[in-house]
Structure 1
């Protein structure tokens, strides 16, 4: 009798250990991209001592989240935009943006258009006016770890994505949406957000576009992010707001 009890206890402990390891694997395998940048090659270049550079520095200075700043007139007009994840507090937002601006200028020197992403913020600039919708790049970061429940994940992604899109369309057409959903023994977390310089209809268009990208690039991946100059979405199996 005692041997049977010991055996049951050992089996139970092994099951618990397996669950802990599975959770740990899901958490450690989240995509952690430190920085992503894109230079808009077809935008042309500016000279080091030009009026464009002066306007660019002015536009980038003091950028707040979800706000665009436009300086000058064509051909030296510069619009700069900062976007912070909607769950960030103002201090963390400013810190992220302050770290991203030098990256942008270092990686895309003398370029008249560029965008740079960190984990929780993005900065972009270009020679365009406000309300410019131009998905000139789509970048994805995908976890190499795959789930065993591919169908369950796909269904949860579709359901959660539709919920967020509907909420953004009804309540905050250009803004931020976050939610989570249980499927099986897992919880899926997702965020969608648009930059503040595009129109509501363009925000919806952009989010629909990257929702399609998720299906193409990320089948079965336990975590992924799709990034564009106008919007982004990210999903994971841990609450990335607290990471």
Structure 2
């Protein structure tokens, strides 16, 4: 439970089985909370403004994270910090469109987008505490089957080891980007399991 809790607090951006990094350019997943709707046009407008400000406000130095707030709505975006800022901006912009469509009125929503060789996440809420454990926000993507014959237990063990490793990297004091990545071999015919983890910086202070 401890690993699950910590992984929830840090946005788990991607788990890629094997070396297949190609995904359809329109693959995305959204989750909307079930704790009610934004019940006024003013709040809906504030949500849209907060989201629009996300991709417009990326500036150098680029850290892969951006946040904004407007009229009681907080929004946050995460991209791999080692990538180009313009690619992140475009990914976030497209993801916002998906998020608005998939969660038109809900108080909280999150969307993950996977593009060829790039991925990002956008989340908004009617409160600033978006780093809290949120089971409703978990999204699962379907990946092509790997060539090995690993059991569920072998995969779980590999994932737990990988999660602990990249969690340590992402939370190092000297790691100002709060980003970690890595890989681990698993299965009787060893193959790689890749993962990245990104902490949302000072999300409670937005």
Q: Which structure: greater helix fraction?
A: 1
- Deviation at residue 93 of structure 1 after TM alignment: 0.4
What runs of 5+ residues in structure 2 fail to find an aligned partner?
1-16, 59-63
Cα gap change, 1:67 to 1:30, in 2 (>3 Å): closer
Cα gap change, 1:118 to 1:179, in 2 (>3 Å): same
Tell me if structure 2 keeps the 8 A contact 1:68–1:197: no
What TM-score, normalized by structure 2, do the two folds share? 0.67
- Deviation at residue 169 of structure 1 after TM alignment: 2.9
The reply to whether residue 57 of structure 1 matches residue 44 of structure 2 is no
Paired residues in the alignment total 169
Higher RCO (CA < 8 A, seq sep 6+): 2
How far apart in 1 are the matches of 2:150 and 2:37? 47
How far apart in 2 are the matches of 1:160 and 1:78? 34
Structure-2 residue corresponding to 1:133 = 132
Cα deviation, 1:87-125, whole Å, max 9, x if unaligned, reads: 432111001011011111112222222111111111111
Secondary structure of the corresponding residue to residue 44 of structure 2 = helix
Secondary structure of the corresponding residue to residue 118 of structure 1 = strand
The reply to whether residue 93 of structure 1 matches residue 94 of structure 2 is no
Secondary structure of the corresponding residue to residue 27 of structure 2 = coil
- Deviation at residue 161 of structure 1 after TM alignment: 2.3
Larger radius of gyration: 1
Aligned-CA RMSD value = 3.1
What TM-score, normalized by structure 1, do the two folds share? 0.58
What runs of 5+ residues in structure 1 fail to find an aligned partner?
1-24, 200-243
